[in-house]
Amino acid sequence: MEEGHKKILQRYRINIVTSLEPSSMYDRLLQKGVFTPDMIEKIKSSGTRRDQARQLARDLATRGSRAFPLFLECLKDSEQHSLAELLQSGAPAVQGSMSNRIILPVVRTLPVLDFQNQIKAAPIHPIQTPTPYASATAPDSENLQAQTQVRTRIQGRTRRDSPERYKMDASPCGHCLIINNVDFEPQSELSNRTGSNIDCDRLERRFQALGFLVEVRTNLKQRRIKHELSDLSKKDHSPYDCCVVIILSHGTEVSHNRFPGAVYGVDGQYVPVQYITTYLNGKHCPSLQGKPKLFFIQACGGGERDRGFEVPSDEAEPCSGGADDQTDAIPASSSSDSLSTSDEPDAGASLPTPSDILVSYSTFPGYVSWRDTQSGSWYIETLDRILEENAATDDLARMLVMVNNEVSQNSAKGIYKQMPGSFNFLRKLLYFQTSTLGQN
């Protein structure tokens, strides 16, 4: 699918999820060849109407160049004219901005002043406007090299051989350990985390596609969590460029110096995040010195439920969560509502601020983190989609801001909010490998 059409689907994702009636379109989408029968069955089995609409939009973005206009035709044929007109209204501007030129990552997002300063600072031959790309005649090699240099400097970031970005071209890129705690022992007084397997499957596929060696460990007690982290720290990471640890569990708020919170083993005993990060720091894992260590924590930051605050209507696009939204944490007290208790934050290490470490949290310290039993957690679902749609063009820090913004638009029961965030001690920009990702 063309990038412009993908952007339209992303821009109007909330409208699609809230108003699309997928059931009236399945036969039409099948007849027009937009989806295969297996894909239709996958969408049907994804859950509620909202879940089906969300899955349909996600799968649609993976189809060919004709998928978007055929989708619009199906909308009109099924009398969903309002949504068709909304999506079609966004098409001309996006398509027009893409015509007759090569789309260069994030050039559009840089301030004008930076654009001018970058051109002045580039000691290379002057070149013409991008018309050579629209002509049938290819530019000579010297001009092509000069244009590449200008584009690189104007973008303000380089994908290869730059001191401003981490080396991320090893194959495989590195190890990725996923700890998925779903079924908790009765004595832990922690509820089972229905829906976490959906998160785990998403992340396993995503990081495999990003070039990582993924290992999944399920239902670990506290001691076993420490053992797996210790084993990971003892591996020889010399051939690799990065290491990722993902923990899906209940959490609790504990005292900390650097990274807040802790995550629970299925036995009800927790491990502070400060110790989790310490296993892979430069002192305890020398083969990862100078290399990025990434930690993604789907766990509550505490027991408090954030009701948010009112903003002007154009500041946010409200998106209600599903009926099965739950949180992941220790039951603090009985409640008359049907919502579960929540995941809590992770604890920080009592060490000097570590370099080359990023810890991304599903929620702000002290607050709950929401999880839908049918479609998985808000944070992981959004993180997976943002990586899928933007890893080819954007660095990790920028993508996490996108995740923060999208999750902040959700509402559980139409009331409760969630705000992800990260503690970023990376020294450079981090771009994932995307050569192994499917191309449309």
Radius of gyration of the chain (CA): 23
The dihedral region occupied by 175, where left means phi > 0, alpha psi between -120 and 50, and beta the remainder, is beta
* Residue 322, token pair as written in the block: 């599903």
In the 8-state DSSP scheme, what is residue 189?
T
How far apart CA 151 and CA 426 sit, in angstroms, is: 25
One of 200, 250, 256, 319 is an active-site residue; which one?
A: 250
What residues contact residue 240 under an 8 Å CB cut-off, 6+ apart?
170, 172, 173, 174, 175, 291
Q: How does DSSP classify residue 358?
A: E
> Using an 8 Å Cβ cutoff, are 157 and 165 in contact?
yes
Report the side by side order of strands in the sheet with 251-252: 251-252, 262-264, 270-272
Q: Active site includes 173?
A: no
**Please, which residues have CB within 8 angstroms of residue 188's CB and are 6 or more apart in sequence?**
264, 266, 267, 268
Do 322 and 374 touch, CB atoms closer than 8 A? yes
Catalytic residue among 74, 243, 285, 300: 300
Distances, alpha carbon 245 to alpha carbons 44, 59, 177, 289, 298, in Å: 32, 27, 5, 16, 11
Name the 3-class secondary structure at 327.
strand
CA distance 387 to 389: 6
For helices 112-121 and 141-155, angle between their N-to-C axes, nearest 10 degrees: 140
List alpha helices for 78-160, DSSP H: 81-98, 112-121, 131-134, 141-155
d(Cα 265, Cα 230) in Å, to the nearest integer?
15
Q: Is 300 annotated in the active site?
A: yes
| Catalytically active residues, by annotation | 250, 300
